[in-house]
Structure 1
């Protein structure tokens, strides 16, 4: 536990020069302790209904999480006027910045594979090795931080929830980022680890295609809806031309592309019970198992990636209606990438890009370039906005 004075000193009095992020949650400052250790200090708004005892208990659980592919929480501070969380400093920005940032160098295929695998390992740890299980609830490219070796670290547990029973879901107010939201969660608030799996699948699609998860150019509702039939076709005929990021110039390993496409197809299925566990995704990405292992889900009912989704958890027409309304709200009022509480949308740090569209392939949703007036920094522990139920982690 840090004192307010220690964190004030580390951040030069929470000066504007040290401010590296802001949003619905509050502010993030870069800090340097007297021993030279760099940290990111998230100063939370004191609007939470969560009591001090609950805050301390949840921070205690999160602070015990240590994994190569998770951003570590190193401490916290509770004062009369504010609560603060102190994270390790990750120096090389976010996956969103490197993949979609205006004027960024092309990310090569091996780096994309490395980031996908690292992120999968971090998420699998939260789902399968933590007790209680932790559901992240806001997996997206902006919440994957990178070091200078492009090792991925899953960040921002600000929307996370505990699940004490592996066989049940958590009912909660819908929060997250449109384009990444699983359909069953967006429509009913039914949250489970497979909701994170869907979001991870969207992120894999970003790595494969180079496209953002939502844009005004999509005839379909989202990247996942646009890609779903193309994934099936690509797996059937072995051609990835209208899926693969054209900036790669076909410079990718064919077998690795097969594995990535198969994982994406499995993850973005409409039916939650048909999606694989994250440990299955890891094995598939590493090439340790056949692709059929992705169909062997945790539930008794096994899936088929090439199925028509007749047994989906929600009806396809209802899915389209829900996502169209959410998309309209985001495109009209927020812009790409914002984490929202759907009952009270708000803008987060770095979520005011403008999108330019240059369509080049009839099967592609458009080559979109992300530009932002703010300088996004990877040392921010992540972005979130909105209030949540009392059990929400304020991390």
Structure 2
């Protein structure tokens, strides 16, 4: 079965990357996968490098531009649990758009591939603290002469750290800096000896040249150092914009360093979910301060100003059934959102693992109503209205009292036509996307209503949106088709999960089933609004109000 799914995934990739631009992006992904095989990864640092989970722009340490081309690869060995081993594969030379390549303080060995020196757009190269067999890297106890070819090929290189080695001082780099051609000439003496005055002249000239060279070195070092500091500030501004007051004296301050450290530097062990917009990590700053950090893919929005404007607009979107956005960080190489953490997990896990107490009708009704209220608020009470475009059980979170909270709201608008890992044309997840949206790419609030209806059908039944049991039917057969078939055959009770029909009330269950089917009809005019769905759910179980 896994081989069949992988073959299907590769086939979808061939269609998805049919254009020349997307084909180059696919080549980047293939290069990263081959690079992964050349590393030894005993601690699972690269566990997210899996094309069946997400595309390469979501992978740990990888950043892309708007064309999904890799522009940055940063894999720093912070401690023994984050160090990579092995060698660097020559395939790294296929990443032709890369500007930042940083693999410091790992346990990398072998020889640095010559292909690195051919990356013409490379601006920052940091390979210090490894064990390479070359004479051009810092902190490797290396000696000899830096190859002249580096200067010829890396035309855009701004920062190459060569400190901590035993290089012989050469003049080729000074000739490069002064734009002089490298030439070797033979001096044929016209006589067998030199007069004292000639020796004195040569010594004096040598001293003058030496002093000039020292001055040039100091000038270049000062200029490079200030430029490197500016470069680092551009690459990694360590600031967090907070929307919630964090001034409690007993609360640890929310800083870039504290958040990233609390996620274990985005370690796989702290990952609590993957989605179309990125991966989410648990961040424990203290027993009473736990957050969920959603790490987004860099390069999926059109400029910093747009991003800050859109994410700041989400600060005003507040509702009891929406996950609270606490703050965010955004830079050229890192971007994440900080939410309050909900210990009850997500609705997808709840459906898979539900136990007898969770089969209580009041619990299921409460979850359905909470989600409906959140969507009604986004559609009717926000100006402009917010379309979610990715309603599914994994985006609905629960607390310990089964209160439901909608997450990832506003991200579709924020990231434009961002693609989920299981879709190629529209935002959303296959199986939950409204048919008119999938066919025309035109989205309205009624597309969210359709997805909500699918979620309700999953909540009350034992079926998934695209359940494996549907494979014996014709193409396009899904949970909606199945529910209609059960009703037409007089088998409505078989729609409901085991024990739910028996515990009742059966009239209320049938009415919720009809509401879910009405939300998923093809005609947009017949689909209810989410405000109408809220009213109907309140009418179904008035004893709770």
Which interval holds the TM-score relative to the shorter structure? 0.5 to 0.7
**CA–CA separation in structure 1 for the residues paired with 2:540 and 2:363:** 19
8 Å Cα contact 2:369-2:537 kept in structure 1:
yes
Shift in CA distance, 161/44, structure 1 to aligned 2, threshold 3 Å: closer
Instruction: Please state how far the C-alpha of 1:36 moved relative to its aligned partner.
Output: 3.5
- Is residue 2:311 matched to residue 1:59? yes
Which string of whole-angstrom CA distances, capped at 9 and with x for unpartnered residues, describes residues 349-370 of structure 1?
xxxxxxxxxxxxxxxxxxxxxx
**CA–CA separation in structure 2 for the residues paired with 1:244 and 1:102:** 14
Task: Determine the structure 2 residue equivalent to 1:74.
Answer: 326
Q: Alignment length, in residue pairs?
A: 277
Instruction: Please state how far the C-alpha of 1:225 moved relative to its aligned partner.
Output: 1.8
- Is residue 2:279 matched to residue 1:27? yes
**CA–CA separation in structure 2 for the residues paired with 1:288 and 1:246:** 21
Task: Determine the structure 2 residue equivalent to 1:226.
Answer: 482
TM-score (norm 2): 0.47
Instruction: Please state how far the C-alpha of 1:246 moved relative to its aligned partner.
Output: 2.8
- Is residue 2:266 matched to residue 1:10? no
8 Å Cα contact 1:259-1:287 kept in structure 2:
no
Instruction: Please state how far the C-alpha of 1:259 moved relative to its aligned partner.
Output: 2.6
8 Å Cα contact 1:76-1:86 kept in structure 2:
yes
8 Å Cα contact 1:41-1:87 kept in structure 2:
yes
- Is residue 2:455 matched to residue 1:199? no
Instruction: Please state how far the C-alpha of 1:251 moved relative to its aligned partner.
Output: 0.9
- Is residue 2:364 matched to residue 1:108? no
Task: Determine the structure 1 residue equivalent to 2:290.
Answer: 38
Shift in CA distance, 13/206, structure 1 to aligned 2, threshold 3 Å: closer
- Is residue 2:403 matched to residue 1:147? no
TM-score (norm 1): 0.64
Which string of whole-angstrom CA distances, capped at 9 and with x for unpartnered residues, describes residues 42-89 of structure 1?
122213142111111111111221111111111001234111110110
- Is residue 2:342 matched to residue 1:86? no
Shift in CA distance, 185/90, structure 1 to aligned 2, threshold 3 Å: same
**CA–CA separation in structure 2 for the residues paired with 1:284 and 1:49:** 39
Task: Determine the structure 1 residue equivalent to 2:12.
Answer: none
Task: Determine the structure 2 residue equivalent to 1:250.
Answer: 502
CA RMSD of aligned residues (A): 2.8
Shift in CA distance, 111/19, structure 1 to aligned 2, threshold 3 Å: same
Instruction: Please state how far the C-alpha of 1:275 moved relative to its aligned partner.
Output: 0.4
Instruction: Please state how far the C-alpha of 1:204 moved relative to its aligned partner.
Output: 1.1
8 Å Cα contact 2:387-2:410 kept in structure 1:
no
Instruction: Please state how far the C-alpha of 1:107 moved relative to its aligned partner.
Output: 2.8
Shift in CA distance, 225/52, structure 1 to aligned 2, threshold 3 Å: same
- Is residue 2:383 matched to residue 1:131? yes
Choose the corresponding residue for 2:432, options 171, 180, 194.
180
Choose the corresponding residue for 2:370, options 89, 99, 118.
118
Q: Which aligned pairs between 1:170-319 and structure 2 lie closer than 5 A?
A: 173-218=425-470, 219=473, 221-231=477-487, 240-287=492-539
**CA–CA separation in structure 1 for the residues paired with 2:529 and 2:272:** 34
Shift in CA distance, 22/257, structure 1 to aligned 2, threshold 3 Å: closer
SS in 2 for 1:157: coil
Structure 1 unaligned spans of 5+: 163-171, 291-395
Q: 1 or 2 for the larger relative contact order (CA 8 Å, sep ≥6)? A: 1
Instruction: Please state how far the C-alpha of 1:106 moved relative to its aligned partner.
Output: 5.5
Shift in CA distance, 22/216, structure 1 to aligned 2, threshold 3 Å: closer
SS in 1 for 2:469: coil
Task: Determine the structure 2 residue equivalent to 1:322.
Answer: none
SS in 2 for 1:246: coil
Instruction: Please state how far the C-alpha of 1:156 moved relative to its aligned partner.
Output: 1.7
**CA–CA separation in structure 1 for the residues paired with 2:291 and 2:522:** 39
